[in-house]
Amino acid sequence: MSDAVLTDAQVADFRALAGMIIPASAQYGVPGADDPVIFADIVGSVGRDHGAVVAALARAAEVAGGAVAGLDAAGKAAVVATLQGEAGAMGVLVRLVLLCYYRDDRVMVSLGLEPRAPFPKGHVLEQGDWSLLDPVKARKPFWRAAP
């Protein structure tokens, strides 16, 4: 993990962006990515992506013409419309938000998934219908003999 930290202004802009990328949903009963617990996970996970995150925040501030956090709803929407689809540093920032959001217990439960690590419980996989293989078994060998 990098020792580099974000400034308060960068954290505020980052949180505003996170909430615009994934807002809360009353329909699904899930928090947004700016939720205190989720956003703390995001900021705590910046680590080796610090440089890219700082660059992405600078790009967002450039588009916003100042602090993203200080914009009204319409201003934020305009920023999102410009930034969405940008790759590079912005892609790293978005990836970080998504990776942390989609491991939050509340989000996982809302998706119908158990909020847990894969190990040690694992998962059940149905064996399936092996008779599907019958027509392939009926084929003659078709590998090429070599001289």
Partner 1 sequence: MLDKVDVLIIGSGASGAAVAWSLAETKMRIVCLEQGDWMKPSDFPSNGKDYEARLYGDFATSPNIRKRKSDYPINDDNSPIKVVNFNAVGGSTVMYTAHYPRLHPSDFRVKSLDGVADDWPVDYATLEPFFAENDRMMGVSGMAGDPAYPSHQPPMPPLPLGKSGQTMARAMNKLGWHWWPSDTTIATTEYDGRAPCINLGHCTPACAQGAKASTDITYWPHAIRAGVELRTNCRVSRIETGPDGMARGVLYFDKDGVEVFQPAEVVIVAANGVGTPRLLLNSASGKNPNGLANSSGLVGKNLMFHPWANIYGYVPEAMDGHRGPPLCLWSQEFYETDLSRGFVRGYNLQFNRGIGVASEAVQTTSVGLVPWGSGHHDGFRRLMGRRMSVGCCTEDLPEEHNRVTLDPVLKDGNGIPAPKIDYTISENTRLMTDHAVARGKEILAAAGAVDVGVIRPVAYGGWHLLGTARMGEDPARSVVNPWGRCHDVKNLFIVDGSIFVTSGGVNPTSTIQALALYIADQMKQRLATLFD
Residues of the chain by 3-state class (helix, strand, coil), percent to 5: 55, 0, 45
Interface with partner 1 includes 3 (CB under 8 A)?
no
Q: Are the C-beta atoms of 70 and 13 separated by less than 8 Å? A: no
Residue reference for tokens 């615009």: 20
How far is it, in rounded angstroms, from Cα 46 to Cα 52?
Answer: 9
* Cα–Cα distance measured from residue 94 to residue 102, given in angstroms and rounded to the nearest whole number: 12
Go through the chain and tell me how many residues it has: 147
Q: Give the binding range for partner 1 (CB under 8 A) out of 4-12, 53-61, 65-73, 132-140.
A: 132-140
Q: Tell me which of 22, 38, 57, 60 binds partner 1, using CB under 8 A.
A: 22
Instruction: Tell which one of 9, 11, 12, 45 touches partner 1 (CB under 8 A).
Output: 45
Count of residues interacting with partner 1 (CB under 8 A):
59
- Whether residue 13 contacts residue 60, with contact meaning beta carbons closer than 8 Å, is answered with yes
List binders of partner 1 among 105-124 (CB under 8 A). Answer: 108, 111, 113, 115-124
Scanning residues 55 to 84, which ones bind partner 1 (CB under 8 A)?
A: 77, 80, 84
Nearest distance from residue 67's CB to partner 1, in Å? 19
Strand partners, 30: 25
Give contact residues for partner 1 (rule: CB under 8 A). Answer: 20-23, 25, 27-28, 30, 45, 47-49, 77, 80, 84-85, 87, 91, 94-95, 98-103, 108, 111, 113, 115-130, 132-133, 135-137, 139-147
